[in-house]
């Protein structure tokens, strides 16, 4: 299938390139031209889309989420992380079947599409069911391994690494990881470190989300979670830390030296009263930061516009500096850094040879007017209402409020409500 | 015109009433029935609307804004409040004509409608032009006087009080106020206090938005802005404080004793690095708090969903308390408290005899599913995308993405861009 999208403003997110007027050509799942208006010549099109002067940019990368937790939305709010996890989340999750995860993941994919998200870094169980859900939708998913003392075996981890990474044409892939220092024994972490070395893999993990987590690790090991995990050899090939809220000076150096990514989750950190991550300091040290929504049980939504405003707004207050983390930096975090953090460098920018994972932002809405600075408008006043189209791998999955999936939204809502009623009562 | 909206979930926002299934009848601009499904009997309808199981609730009240500042959106971001005001905002505003304010206010009204806002407490100049804009749109506006040393006379204030309040059937009304302690001489504040006493009026003012403002007032007067303004007799008949970020113990007592409202503006306070208002403490003392977006130059949007999440999310982190300011409290602030703060008690709840200022929230969207707790869904995962209909005074002004105004959106966008180019270059 060959597609031409014309009459667009284009923000490629390539270094130092500003917005320009032009068009994008797509062959199958790949971008074959991005630039000013151009005669088609020999090209013929299966589909031509008039962008009507609206903005095309790379889709947002949700670099930390737990998709199937949609069933817990608004179920257990207003609680501390540890109580929330142990008394509400873990007991409910224990009742989930693969079929449940299949439907709950589809519900999450719908929500991602309305927010302009084109790929996710998803940490959840019942992986085969989750993979089936996203692949049927035509959505792109990188699984993050979440093994810990309460679930998973190292043999299964090694098998999954092969299963989900062997076919490069699939929309699903896999990165090595584990749940967190506080849920994983030293012995298991050493096995993960061994696997990371065997295949030269980056390792991803929840880290330093709450003060209590850091204090607990210090009591047990005499070290911060970052220092302790590093001492076990987990980060020899890089990786990433989800949350990264409470860090000491030594942690910052380790993160920089081991070339780790940090994925910030500001809405979830507010709602669980975990704190505000030191994003400005990370960026000042050259540490790349990406953005995630975290799961819908703690956030409670999967809205990258909310996260983007929070990333910059919270730093301004935290650092008493209204210049902290300007809009273009936020857009880079939400697109380029996210793609690279989850191992999708082919999805980072709108460029020839890259995947056609892109969104159209409706500029003909009051919150985008006047059009003085479109990048700032997207970060400071944009909302899900502005997502006019979401395309993954050259396929339009959402346009003008309509979903183009393999099943009806009503069926997905019905199933999600059934599951919530059965498990939560 | 008689309207029946049926097949709805209804959240009236009356005390202790939960969501129920039912219908609402409207005659002209007034609600004549709210309750369960009911036979029409003698009634005949000019219009019947099937809510499709979606949620009807009172429209949001944006209790502090500067509508016509839409032209400054994304013009001067990433600056401290005082520098931003003095070097960018005031010089640009000096060039505005009444005709400019007319178009820029219409642009703001469109944005309010997309966010489910049915009335605003608007502090801006060129009031006649602003009034014409909102009345042509069919939108409800309470002007807040903004006199200060750089604009306005006390005679004009008294005249405007009569002009905008004499005809109770108008969509526009007026409350006494002034810009701020730091822009207004003691002499002028005394004249305002005199007027407040003459007509027994509440007084509204920007107050204690930044640390610098409070320190400046202490240096000049030996008192905090709250204490100083109170000592001048400004709050004998109540009123309200916009922002209210930096307060000492004495301030809290004055605010409670003088029965003042506080209007919090969390997005603007983040973006200008002003701080986080002590909302939980206000509420704990029985001080009613309402919510405003502030102007689009500092926010940069007019989105009550963003403000609602910030109100609760920021308190949870500020107070290290995930239970702080639960969802139903936030909804009360955004509807009931806002209406009462701006002198619109007839718009606070969905009840017989009240104004038909209401919104329909689309529950058939992924971010609202499953439907376990609809109130929490609205606050924690709602977005502008969920505004299916906005009705003011019995008239549908926005529905399914379409505006029902007296002029085309494109014309308003064109004018706003022209004005921004002329003034900002």
**A351 has a pLDDT exceeding 90:** yes
B185 touches chain A (CB under 8 A): no
Query: DSSP letter at A401?
Result: T
- Cβ-Cβ contacts under 8 Å for B101 (sequence gap 6 or more): B68, B124, B125, B126, B129, B130, B133
Residue A230 confidence (pLDDT): 98
For residue A81, pLDDT over 80 is answered with no
Contact assignment for A78 to B419 by CB distance below 8 Å: no
Q: Is the pLDDT of residue B404 over 90?
A: yes
pLDDT class of A324 with cuts at 50, 70, 90: very high
What's the rounded Cα separation, in Å, for the pair B346 and B267?
Answer: 28
Closest chain B C-alpha to A273 CA, distance in angstroms = 4
Contact B376 A300 (CB under 8 A): yes
A46 close to A23: Cβ distance less than 8 angstroms: no
Per-residue exposure over B137-174, b if at least 16 CB sit within 10 Å of its own CB, e if not: bbbbbbbbbbbbeeebeeeebeebbebbbeeeeebbbb
pLDDT confidence band for B104 (50 / 70 / 90): very high
> Which residues have CB under 8 Å from B154's CB, separation 6+?
B147, B188, B191, B192, B195
In this predicted structure, the answer to whether residue A76 has a pLDDT above a threshold of 90 is no
Residues 98-157 of A with CB under 8 A from B: 107-108, 110-111, 114
User: Looking at residue B59, what DSSP letter applies?
Assistant: P
Averaged pLDDT, B119-138: 97
Q: Which residue has the tokens 């399914």?
A: B400
Q: Per CATH, is A60-346 categorized as 3.90.870.10?
A: no
Q: Is A326 close to B75, i.e. CB distance below 8 A?
A: no
> Which of the four pLDDT bands, split at 50, 70 and 90, describes residue B13?
very high
Mark which residues 356-395 of B lie under 8 Å from A by CB: 364-367, 369-373, 376-377, 380-385
State how far the Cα of B148 lies from the Cα of B153, in Å rounded to an integer: 8
Q: Do A364 and B108 touch (CB under 8 A)?
A: no
Smallest CA-to-CA distance from A25 within A410, A418, A394, A416 is with A394
pLDDT for the residue numbered A161: 98
- Does the beta carbon of B250 lie under 8 angstroms from any beta carbon of chain A? no
**Model pLDDT, residue A234:** 98
Statement: residue A79 has pLDDT above 80: no
Question: Phi and psi (nearest 5°) for A209?
Answer: -80, -40
A258-272, A299-313, B76-90, B322-336: lowest mean pLDDT where?
B76-90
Respond yes or no on whether the N-terminal peptide bond of residue A118 is cis (omega within 30° of 0): no
Q: Which string of b and e fits A257-282 if b means at least 16 CB within 10 Å?
A: ebebbbbbbbbbbbbbbbbbbbbbeb
The alpha carbon dihedral of A71, A76, A77, A83 has a sign of negative
Query: Among A70, A314, A369, whose Cβ lies nearest the Cβ of B413?
Result: A369
Distance CA A141, CA B321 (A): 34
Instruction: Give per-residue pLDDT as tens, B373-391.
Output: 999 999 999 999 999 999 9
The per-residue pLDDT for range A365-381, each reduced to its tens digit, is: 999 999 999 999 999 99
**Mean per-residue pLDDT, B272-292:** 97
CB-based contact B364 A417, cutoff 8 Å? no
Averaged pLDDT, A351-363:
98
**What are the DSSP E strand ranges found in B13-106?**
20-27, 30-35, 47-50, 55-58, 60-65
Give the span between the Cα atoms of B372 and B354, in whole angstroms. 29
Predicted pLDDT of residue B339: 98
Closest CA to A318 of B271, B246, B247: B271
pLDDT of residue B164: 98
Query: Which residues from B are below 8 Å from A274, CB to CB?
Result: 317
Q: Is B94 on the interface with A (CB under 8 A)?
A: no
Average model confidence (pLDDT) for chain B? 96
pLDDT in tens, A222-247: 999 999 999 999 999 999 999 999 99
The reply to whether residue B301 touches residue A410, judged by beta carbons under 8 angstroms, is: no
**Among the partner residues A74, A111, A380, nearest to B301 by beta-carbon distance:** A380
Q: Which two tokens stand for residue B50?
A: 């099937």
Q: What is the pTM of this model?
A: 0.97
Q: What topology does CATH give the domain B2-58+354-403?
A: Urease, subunit C; domain 1 (2.30.40)
Domain boundaries, chain B: 2-58+354-403, 60-342
Could you tell me where the beta strands, DSSP code E, fall in B176-236? Answer: 177-180, 203-207
Q: Write down the pLDDT at residue A86.
A: 87
**pLDDT, position A43:** 83
pLDDT given for residue A40 in this prediction: 77
Would you state the pLDDT for residue B79? Answer: 74
Question: Which secondary-structure segment (H or E) carries A127?
Answer: helix A127-137
Count of Cβ atoms closer than 10 Å to residue A323 Cβ = 14
* Residue A223 CA: distances (Å) to CA of A11, A193, A213, B114, B144: 44, 18, 12, 50, 56
CATH code matching the domain that covers B60-342, chosen among 3.30.70.1060, 2.40.160.40, 3.20.20.140, 3.40.50.1380: 3.20.20.140
Nearest CA in chain A to B369: A413
Bridge-partner residues for B239, per DSSP? B203, B260
Across the interface, do B371 and A417 touch by the CB < 8 Å criterion? Answer: yes
pLDDT number for residue B399: 98
Mean pLDDT of chain A: 96
CA distance B273 to chain A (A): 4
Distance CA A226, CA A221 (A): 11
| CA B309, chain centre distance (Å) | 16
How many Cβ atoms are within 10 Å of B345's Cβ, its own excluded?
12
In this predicted structure, what is the pLDDT of residue B83? Answer: 84
Percent over 90 (pLDDT), chain A: 93
Q: How confident is the model at residue A138 (pLDDT cuts 50, 70, 90)?
A: very high
pLDDT score at A78:
76
Max distance between CA atoms of chain A, in angstroms, equals: 69
**CA nearest to B140, candidates B153, B149, B131:** B131
CB-CB neighbours of A167 under 10 Å? 9
The CATH-assigned architecture of domain A2-58+348-403 is Roll (2.30)
**Residue B286 region by backbone torsions, left for phi larger than 0, else alpha for psi between -120 and 50, else beta:** left
CB B118 within 8 A of CB B347: yes
* Secondary structure element (H or E) that encloses residue A237, with its range: none
Q: How much is the pLDDT for A316?
A: 96
> What pLDDT shows up at residue B269?
96
Judge contact between B359 and B116, C-beta under 8 A. yes
Using the predicted structure, report yes or no on whether residue A105 has a pLDDT greater than 80.
Answer: yes
Residues in chain B closer than 8 A to A312 (CB atoms): 271
Q: Does B88 touch chain A (CB under 8 A)?
A: no
CB-count burial class (<10 Å; 0-12, 13-18, 19+) for A154: middle
Q: List the single range of A2-6, A213-217, B43-47 with lowest mean pLDDT.
A: B43-47
* Chain B residues closer than 8 Å to A421 by CB: 370
Average pLDDT over residues B143-162: 97
What pLDDT was estimated at residue B369?
Answer: 97
Report the alpha-carbon distance of residue A57 to residue A80 in Å, rounded.
37
User: CB neighbours (10 Å) of residue A199?
Assistant: 12
At residue A85 the predicted structure's pLDDT band, cuts being 50, 70 and 90, is confident
Q: Which of A228, A210, A333 is nearest to A273 (CA)?
A: A210
Angle between helix axes B127-137 and B154-165 (nearest 10 degrees) is: 20
Nearest to A211 by CA among A86, A82, A79, A64: A82
Close Cβ partners of B218 (under 8 Å, ≥ 6 residues apart): B224
């Amino acid at each position: 299938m060959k597609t031409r999208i014309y009459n667009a403003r284009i923000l490629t997110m390539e270094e130092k390139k500003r917005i320009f007027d032009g068009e994008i050509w797509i062959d199958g799942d790949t971008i074959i031209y991005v630039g000013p208006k151009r005669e088609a010549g020999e090209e013929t099109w299966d589909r031509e889309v008039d962008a009507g002067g609206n903005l095309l940019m790379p889709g947002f990368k949700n670099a930390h989420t737990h998709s199937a937790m949609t069933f817990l939305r608004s179920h257990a709010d207003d609680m501390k992380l540890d109580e929330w996890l142990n008394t509400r989340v873990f007991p409910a999750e224990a009742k989930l079947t693969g079929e449940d995860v299949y439907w709950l993941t589809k519900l999450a994919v719908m929500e991602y599409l309305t927010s302009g998200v084109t790929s996710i870094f998803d940490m959840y169980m019942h992986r085969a069911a989750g993979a089936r859900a996203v692949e049927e939708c035509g959505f792109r998913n990188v699984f993050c391994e979440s093994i810990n003392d309460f679930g998973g075996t190292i043999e299964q981890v090694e098998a999954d690494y092969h299963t989900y990474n062997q076919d490069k044409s699939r929309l699903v892939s896999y990165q090595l990881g584990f749940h967190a220092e506080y849920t994983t024994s030293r012995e298991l972490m050493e096995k993960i470190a061994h696997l990371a070395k065997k295949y030269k893999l980056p390792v991803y993990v929840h880290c330093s989300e709450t003060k209590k987590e850091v204090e607990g690790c210090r009591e047990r090991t005499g070290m911060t979670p970052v220092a302790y995990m590093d001492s076990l050899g987990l980060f020899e090939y890089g990786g990433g830390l989800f949350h990264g809220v409470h860090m000491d000076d030594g942690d910052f150096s380790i993160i920089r030296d081991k070339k780790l990514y940090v994925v910030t989750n500001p809405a979830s950190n507010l709602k669980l009263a975990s704190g505000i991550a030191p994003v400005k300091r990370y960026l000042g040290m050259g540490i790349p930061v990406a953005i995630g929504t975290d799961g819908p049980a703690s956030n409670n939504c999967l809205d990258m516009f909310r996260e983007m405003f929070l990333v910059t707004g919270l730093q301004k207050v935290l650092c008493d500096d209204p210049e902290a983390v300007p809009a273009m930096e936020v857009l880079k975090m939400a697109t380029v850094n996210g793609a690279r953090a989850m191992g999708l460098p082919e999805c980072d920018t709108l460029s020839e040879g890259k995947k056609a994972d892109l969104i159209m932002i409706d500029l003909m809405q009051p919150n985008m007017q006047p059009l003085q600075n479109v990048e700032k408008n997207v970060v400071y006043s944009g909302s899900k209402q502005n997502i006019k189209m979401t395309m993954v791998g050259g396929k339009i999955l959402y346009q003008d409020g309509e979903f183009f999936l393999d099943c009806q939204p009503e069926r997905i809502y019905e199933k999600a409500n059934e599951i919530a009623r059965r498990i939560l009562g």
